[in-house]
Structure 1
């Protein structure tokens, strides 16, 4: 039995690819499907056409360019970081109701569509997403990671990230808002130096991990995608007064198809839904530092 190079079932005659460069793909490729039980496999692939659901939801109301920047609460992890800096509490019970929506979740399953292989040259953020509902969800996941990363705490890298993943009419005003938000006072509250750097001997951590996505509106030109995320934020190292803590939030992005890719026209963020914390012992400062420096991130694809 032969399988495609990455398990997605590559078309015969399409050699190479991200995971099988130079492999010999010929007309003898076969596929084997395991038998299903009477009730089916609740975790099995939810087969969908290659089109990825194009056309669902119509054109959806259109995005007004004047509302693009409507408080792009896109200071993504900024909300979480502020809460971290102030060590504020709060209940997430109201937020948990909103995540459950009426739209049913779709499992992440092989669709026959290959993950993206392109990257933006200036930032390394994944690019070249499909013009499908799945492509929009993949774009939103990868953009959430970029906006919630430590690169946002440095002026040059922040500008590059914002310009790379936002529409041309949304980026300039957002840049100005973020430059004001990432101020010396804010850095001080988070435990950083005035320029956003970590104190000597400490490692600043700001990392976002998408847990799931949901498209609430989709057309070939516009899409709205909610990304449920968990994140890490804090200072790792001996003597840290701002230890690394976990956050939970949901980011909703309004995407627009620009040129040949999805770009963010506007976005907002709210806390939660957050699960009950487990009783896993907290790691020591050195272990957390080694983990942050030793484990890289992912390119997310539906």
Structure 2
């Protein structure tokens, strides 16, 4: 048999090689099915990435090694990141206390004290005195009560649409809330620390015919704290406007929506 007499064979010397038949339907040569192996590779790859990410995160702000090629290249813990440390021991509904004797503890105290100073309870005498006795250093409580009594007058209450005693008229809901956005230590000398608390606040009277609707404001409270009787207490504090972001285009809620939100949404204990 001469070369080429039998279809599908080639001859080299005395060896014949059978060539594969072409696809009778004219399609491309069939390939082994590899979807299962690819899926396995994908899963293994994801697991490896997750393990690497967790390991990288756990390195946090640890100290660098001696290797010159990596020294200083590790990410450091951000100064604005929460610590995750439980700072206080307090029952629900009370002003937190028992802060750590550290800068972190001072910032946690200042944030929670800002909430108390911006609450609706400050507008009535009994509630105000209770707050001041809890957060002001013992030697300054009496003078602070006197100073706040001069500020929270019946005239001031009326300017907000409140009764003379600082309570809301029937059918209205008084809103006064402060939410800390962040804190920083401005100065620290061990037993005395100055903390700045950047806050957002809500103030106004929610009701159908209110002439003082609830509005939002931005301000910074500066507190000088001292370590007294086993906790951080306020010596003095002051307030200034801002920093304030550009207002958004959110639709203002109705009086009913605002009243319902105030009644249903509770506050938080803040920790640095």
Q: List per-residue Cα deviations over 1:153-186 (Å, max 9, x = no partner).
A: 0101100101110111111111111111111111
SS at match of 1:186: helix
The residue that corresponds to 1:232 in the other structure is 202
- Where structure 2 has 5 or more consecutive residues not aligned to the other structure, the ranges are 1-51, 64-77
SS at match of 2:237: strand
SS at match of 1:127: coil
The residue that corresponds to 1:27 in the other structure is none
Q: List per-residue Cα deviations over 1:116-169 (Å, max 9, x = no partner).
A: 12359xx71000000111000000000000000001001011001011101111
- Where structure 1 has 5 or more consecutive residues not aligned to the other structure, the ranges are 1-31, 49-104
1:204 pairs with 2:174: yes
Q: Whose radius of gyration is greater, 1 or 2? A: 2
* Alpha-carbon separation, structure 2, partners of 1:229 and 1:47: 31
* Alpha-carbon separation, structure 2, partners of 1:108 and 1:252: 20
1:136 pairs with 2:106: yes
Change in Cα spacing, 1:125 to 1:33, as seen in structure 2 (3 Å) is: farther
Q: List per-residue Cα deviations over 1:268-288 (Å, max 9, x = no partner).
A: 101111111001111111111
TM-score, normalised to structure 1, is: 0.65
Name the structure where helix makes up a greater proportion of residues.
2
Count of residues in correspondence between the two structures: 208
Q: Contact 1:149/1:206 (CA < 8 Å) preserved in 2? A: yes
Change in Cα spacing, 1:226 to 1:271, as seen in structure 2 (3 Å) is: same
The residue that corresponds to 1:192 in the other structure is 162
The residue that corresponds to 1:109 in the other structure is 82
| RMSD (Å), alpha carbons | 2.4
TM-score, normalised to structure 2, is: 0.71
1:177 pairs with 2:197: no
CA positional deviation for 1:45: 5.6
Which runs of structure 2 are paired with 1:88-167 in the superposition (5 Å)?
106-111=79-84, 113-119=85-91, 124-167=94-137
